[in-house]
A and B are shown apart, each in its own frame.
Chain A
Amino acid sequence: MKTNDVILQTTANIVFFIIFLFSIHIFFAGHYAPGGGFVGGLLTSSAIVLLLLAYDLKTISTALPINYVVMTAIGLLIAITTAAASIMFNMPFFTHAYDYYDLPLLGKQSLHSAMAFDLGVYLVVVGVTMTIIQTIGADD
């Protein structure tokens, strides 16, 4: 028998965007405030898990057509590239650099190469968590 989940699904639709935006905020705030790639990735994957709970696996994988194994690989690649880029400038492995730039709209901001490493961590965390949950949930 099909049960009626309108309240849960409508709330999940709205709440998904709040959790996702908050995870992006946590990810970008990681350099100066508590947060960073790991917590941001976990929050993003928990937003997707909320959608998985409200709908089913097939609906979500057609709505968000992401291969999470590939996502993990891309994250590892980004992390190793930012770590290895310092070798090109005759610096030890994992040396990071930063500078100040005048960005449009945002004004003077410092861009740090640790951010790119954090992006790698973020992608790996989202990819691994979603792979675990989807493989456990999919065996029927």
Chain B
Amino acid sequence: MEILKNSLIILTTSIGLVFIVVTAVGLIRLPDVYSRTHAASKSATLGVMFILLGVFLHFWLIKDEVNTRLLLGIAFLFMTGPVGGHVIGRAAYLSGVPMWKHSVKDDLGPYLKEQKKAHRQSID
């Protein structure tokens, strides 16, 4: 039983660690801001959530103490991490950071142009 508990804790913590390493590699290797926020927001959130789950399991199974703050932290990260990535990417797009030169599709650009035109007409 003890071995099972320990291996569960080690498994969750190592999965989290692998995801964080993947994040770091993605931040170095990916070409532009948008793909880098994609790497940072998704896999870093999942990695930290797995590590927090491992810490929660350690305190619960080994130390016999249910720490609800860790569960709250997991829920909080699950909600806020991707939103942080979204806001960074959106701010970058709105301030005109160029996309990677091999990008093929840009749906937000024409929509924003239309909005700007409508805004200008409403002023005039």
| Chain A residues close to B by CB (< 8 Å) | 1-3, 7-8, 11, 14-15, 18, 22, 25
A15 and B76 CA atoms in complex are apart in Å by 7
Contact, CB under 8 Å: A8 / B83 = yes
Report if B5 contacts A (CB, 8 A). Answer: no
Interface residues of A, dominant DSSP: helix
- Chain B residues, CB < 8 A from A14: 79
CB distance from A82 to the nearest CB of B (A): 29
Interface residues of B, dominant DSSP: helix
Of chain A, the residue at the smallest CB distance from B115 is: A1
Of chain A, the residue at the smallest CB distance from B80 is: A15
CB distance from B109 to the nearest CB of A (A): 14
Report if B102 contacts A (CB, 8 A). Answer: no
- Chain B residues, CB < 8 A from A7: 83, 86-87
- Chain B residues, CB < 8 A from A11: 79-80, 83
Contact, CB under 8 Å: B79 / A15 = yes
Top 4 nearest A-B pairs (CB, nearest first) are A11-B83, A1-B119, A7-B86, A1-B116
* A8 in contact with B76 given A1-B115, A1-B119 (CB within 8 Å): no
In the complex, besides A7-B83, A7-B87, A22-B72, 7 extra interface pairs with C-beta distance below 8 angstroms are A1-B116, A3-B94, A7-B86, A8-B86, A11-B83, A14-B79, A15-B79
Count how many chain B residues have C-beta atoms less than 8 Å from C-beta atoms of the other chain: 13
* A18 in contact with B87 given A1-B115, A1-B119, A3-B94 (CB within 8 Å): no
A18 and B94 CA atoms in complex are apart in Å by 30
A7 and B8 CA atoms in complex are apart in Å by 35
A131 and B80 CA atoms in complex are apart in Å by 26
Of chain B, the residue at the smallest CB distance from A53 is: B87
Contacts of B61-100 to chain A: CB distance below 8 A: 69, 72, 75-76, 79-80, 83, 86-87, 94
- Chain A residues, CB < 8 A from B87: 7-8
Contact, CB under 8 Å: A18 / B83 = no
Query: What are 17 A-B contacts defined by CB distance under 8 Å?
Result: A1-B115, A2-B119, A3-B94, A7-B86, A7-B87, A8-B83, A8-B87, A11-B79, A11-B80, A11-B83, A14-B79, A15-B76, A15-B79, A18-B72, A18-B75, A18-B76, A25-B69
Of chain A, the residue at the smallest CB distance from B76 is: A18
